[in-house]
Chains A and B, each alone.
Chain A
């Protein structure tokens, strides 16, 4: 059985090289490592060929149940991905390159990221975006830290209707800093405005909201932006990118910082990663943005070109005073996002948003008719909505899962008083037939 390490050098090559170096064996090159520091154990299985590997991983993948119809979201969404995305992002010149430190031989990556930044600005209605962050949750945390830097204050107010995973990540990030985090419990599926208003004061750096929120509710948060600004605080909104094809942009609504997760834009579910986080802001705060930023410039002949810019913010220069410790971005995933957006184009993207909206509204109307079931959201929703069932939602979901449908996310885990509630997600991939079937199955579970 042959063994590979992808090392091309033959024994002859190795001998030649050792002679040039002036040592007898490769082992001699490790002489600086004392014997007592050598590994005590290295019990790894023997290697295998490509073909055995494919079979092995295939077996592992086979242990997953993939024939499930997804009506779940919670941060990741089952969307269509046009064929060009895999094809173009699969070009080796894109995916085997690294961070474009040498711009002259990296104009492909740099221009693509600049076009990506532009797309994010246009979607969000903001003036400046960076070249991506790790994911939507860490992006929300970075937005909080950005606002803390800008205002010099020490309090963060978060809408409790935002994704609980995101909120947990924000709290983890801020845990070791002298920052007070105040979470406002939601009221009936939407932000509790009176409670939030009373929490925002002149020590508040930022109000963090999510639109649509974890329950699927859409909100016009212009008044919350005004409230924050009146107290000298910023408003940071985490948004769902597909909604931006139909819903008023967070920039329009007065957000100072916009973040979100780009998984819905051309990145597969892939059990939770990788995807990318996006962050955008207004020009006046651009120096406070974390992460890589690509800027436009010219070369010595006056030709347009692109470079990493404002690097003096970053860790490799500012070290402990950097805006963030972030080094890599999620370049390839952001590229996939860009290709996705270009493939759908202006009309296609608006159409996709509309499809998501219509399908979810249809599903909502069908579920609302189920006996004992009510819609929790008081107003408009976008492609997710929350049902209040006459019984505990957990067992209902479990039973339906055994029947190959992930019917929704039961909320009891994060909202103890909502154990009877379920957030259902409907994307453009779900057919009328699938929706009708789920309603039928759910009625059976709920009413028996």
Chain B
């Protein structure tokens, strides 16, 4: 079972064999409201941990999504181009955004565990 990590900017990361699948959390999807567009990152793009990865638009807002880990984008979820609603329906499963080939596994220590993220959310309310 792969462990899921979270960032304070409400991204989640699931790691398997050096590849990090990332997306936004249920909380973030809820905050954004009806998502109208996902500006997917380019495959091949290099990202730094907590640097800008891409952006997501809803009717009233445009939110930057930050890369929870450094590395190179190797795959993006093309389905989101036509059907951005998937992110609202299933943000932590079918609504994944990209696969990042990780540069440094040790970076995961800078993220929150599931329990820590839940506590963080409680603090926000």
Q: Report if A and B touch in the complex (beta carbons < 8 A).
A: yes
Residues of A within 8 A of B (CB): 287, 310-313, 317-318, 321
Kindly provide the distance from the CB of B116 to the nearest chain A CB, expressed in whole angstroms. Answer: 31
B58 contacts chain A at the CB level, 8 A cutoff: yes
- A interface: dominant SS: helix
Cα distance A318–B55 when bound, in Å? 11
Give Cα A317–Cα B55 distance, bound, in whole angstroms: 13
Which of B42-80 touch A at CB < 8 Å? Answer: 55, 57-62
The closest CB in chain B to the CB of A322 belongs to B62
Q: Is B60 within 8 A of A311, CB to CB?
A: yes
* Bound CA–CA A287/B38 (angstroms): 11
| Residues of B that sit less than 8 Å from A by CB | 36-37, 55, 57-62
Can you list 19 A-B pairs, Cβ within 8 angstroms, ordered by A?
Answer: A287-B37, A310-B36, A311-B59, A311-B60, A312-B36, A312-B37, A312-B57, A312-B58, A312-B59, A312-B60, A312-B61, A312-B62, A313-B62, A317-B60, A317-B61, A317-B62, A318-B62, A321-B55, A321-B62
Query: What's the Cα separation between A224 and B53 when bound, in Å?
Result: 36
Q: What CA separation (Å) do A318 and B58 show in the bound complex?
A: 12
Taking A287-B37, A312-B60, A313-B62 as known contacts, 16 extra A-B pairs with beta carbons closer than 8 A to each other, sorted by chain A number, are A310-B36, A311-B59, A311-B60, A312-B36, A312-B37, A312-B57, A312-B58, A312-B59, A312-B61, A312-B62, A317-B60, A317-B61, A317-B62, A318-B62, A321-B55, A321-B62
Q: Which of A311, A312, A317, A318 has the most CB of B within 10 A?
A: A312
**How many whole Å from B108's CB to the nearest CB in chain A?**
29
CA distance A313 to B57 in the complex (A): 9
A296, chain B: closest CB distance, angstroms? 15
List, in ascending order, chain A residues with CB within 8 A of B59's CB: 311-312
Chain A to chain B: the 4 pairs with minimum beta-carbon distance, closest first:
A312-B57, A312-B62, A318-B62, A317-B62
Write out the residue numbers on chain B whose beta carbons fall within 8 Å of the beta carbon of A317: 60-62
Which B residues are CB-close (under 8 A) to A312? 36-37, 57-62
Residues of A within 8 A of B55 (CB): 321
